[in-house]
Amino acid sequence: MILYSYIDSALGQLLVASQDDKLTGLYFKGRHHAQIVSTWIRQDDVEIFAQTEQQLDEYASGHRKDFDLPTSLSGTPFRMQVWKEIATIPYGQTITYSEIAQRLGKPDAVRAVGTATGANPLSIIIPCHRVVGKCGTLTAYAGGPVRKTALLDFEAGKIETLHAEALE
């Protein structure tokens, strides 16, 4: 059974989903929004949602650089590889789609890496905002270009805290 709720965070309103006490989705409302299906049940008092909200608040205030939430992902083997690789990108650093393809031993799979990155179900937790185009160019981001720029600037120390009002 999939449970869902909404979190008001410094990153804006987020849709969160869980199954078996593990976080399965974190989506920007209005931009990168999973389709809630009739079998999902809204439940706001789920412990994993409270943990997620707390860790996101700690991240947005500069007190957390890594997340340690129990998660459960589902996707093709290739997508799972891409997400695993993205999860290793250190706070404050970026990597290109082609570098990920190289690391996976599939240098011609740059577009497939981009597609997998765009399908990331755990924004921020799996930090796909740290994936950039050639020469460091900013590329599409489920949270939008303003949010991606702010996240990268925040992690680079150019801004002190994140505020939802500035990201929408």
> Taking the alpha carbons of 69, 124, 103, 71 in that order, is the dihedral positive or negative?
positive
10 Å CB burial of residue 77 (0-12, 13-18, 19+) is exposed
> How far, in Å, CA of 80 to CA of 107, rounded?
17
What does DSSP assign to residue 136?
A: G
Edge-to-edge, what's the strand order for the sheet holding 41-42?
22-28, 12-19, 2-9, 41-42
Which regions of the chain does DSSP assign to beta strands (E)? 2-9, 12-19, 22-28, 41-42, 95-96, 131-132
- The single residue of 3, 126, 128, 162 carrying the catalytic annotation is 128
Q: Is 128 a catalytic residue?
A: yes
Q: Name the residues annotated as catalytic.
A: 128
